[in-house]
Amino acid sequence: MSRVLILGAAGTLGRYVARAAVSARHEVTALVRAGSRVPDHLRAGITVCEADLSTTPIAGLAAHVRQHDVVIHTAGRVTDGQRFVDLTARVVTALEATPQDERPVAWFMAGAALLDLDARGRRAVDLPRVATTYWPHRANFDRLRRTSIDWRMLCPGPLVHQPALGLERLRLSLDRVPVRVPEWTRVLPGPFTVPFFAYRVPEMIIPYADAAAVMMANLSRTSETSRHRVGVALPAGMRGRKDQWLAARGAA
């Protein structure tokens, strides 16, 4: 059993993570701006603490994280732009302010566009058409690469409200996309690789519950996910539907 602190536990993904952590019998704390946003069915199994990640002094945030073995940061959205970057930077700084022997493992969220497309290390997020929206993921990743904390970053495609498939069925990868992008695309100029990436995105549309399960399965310091971006895809041959993704975004 681990002591797990969930940042943004009142959000859509945060609620799935909280349920998964409680089911796994971890000792769970939810750090949220307003405790009233935590659903009643979750309250019985977790401790709720109120704090605003964007304004609480770093020393105060560090005091929260140092009491836990794992911190899972699900707060903020990429569409928040610089606010999302600033929020993530504050979480990283709070972890750095924690004595090294008390620092928890930390999970962060990004998207599939941050994963390497090929052996050259090219990423969709570096291309203008994609970077316009998803540049905060790149900024957060750059911040993590400069720190000594034990981080790992989940990089799925869009998340949807669907029954979990289970870890044994998912395709996982470290740093590179978990789907096949033709090797010959490495000779193409960057912008011309976007359609090949976009075509594979439906394979990376996964259930929220499976995203939570991947993190729950990799909480230990010895996990191979440590200091890596983690890609997730559906079983080979399966594709998620964009309408499910849009419905999920509307419900979030």
- 193 vs 110, more confident: 110
Tell me what pLDDT residue 132 has.
92
Beta bridge partners of 73: 7
Whether pLDDT at 1 is above 90 = no
Written as one letter, the residue type at 209 is: A
User: How does residue 243 score in pLDDT terms, banded at 50, 70 and 90?
Assistant: low
User: How does residue 252 score in pLDDT terms, banded at 50, 70 and 90?
Assistant: very low
What average pLDDT does the structure give for the chain?
90
Tell me what pLDDT residue 20 has.
96
Whether pLDDT at 184 is above 70 = no
With a CB cutoff of 8 Å and minimum separation 6, the contacts of 241 are 202, 205
Superfamily covering domain 3-251: NAD(P)-binding Rossmann-like Domain (3.40.50.720)
Q: How many angstroms separate the CA atoms of 18 and 8, rounded? A: 10
User: How does residue 43 score in pLDDT terms, banded at 50, 70 and 90?
Assistant: confident
pLDDT > 90 fraction of the chain, expressed in percent and rounded: 74
- 167 vs 197, more confident: 167
Q: How many angstroms separate the CA atoms of 183 and 247, rounded? A: 34
> What pairing do the DSSP bridges indicate for beta strands 27-32 and 229-233?
unpaired
Question: Which ranges of the chain would DSSP assign to H, the alpha helix?
Answer: 12-23, 40-43, 58-65, 82-96, 128-145, 194-200, 208-216, 242-251
pTM, 2 dp: 0.91
Residue of 69, 65, 36, 32 whose CA lies nearest to 51: 32
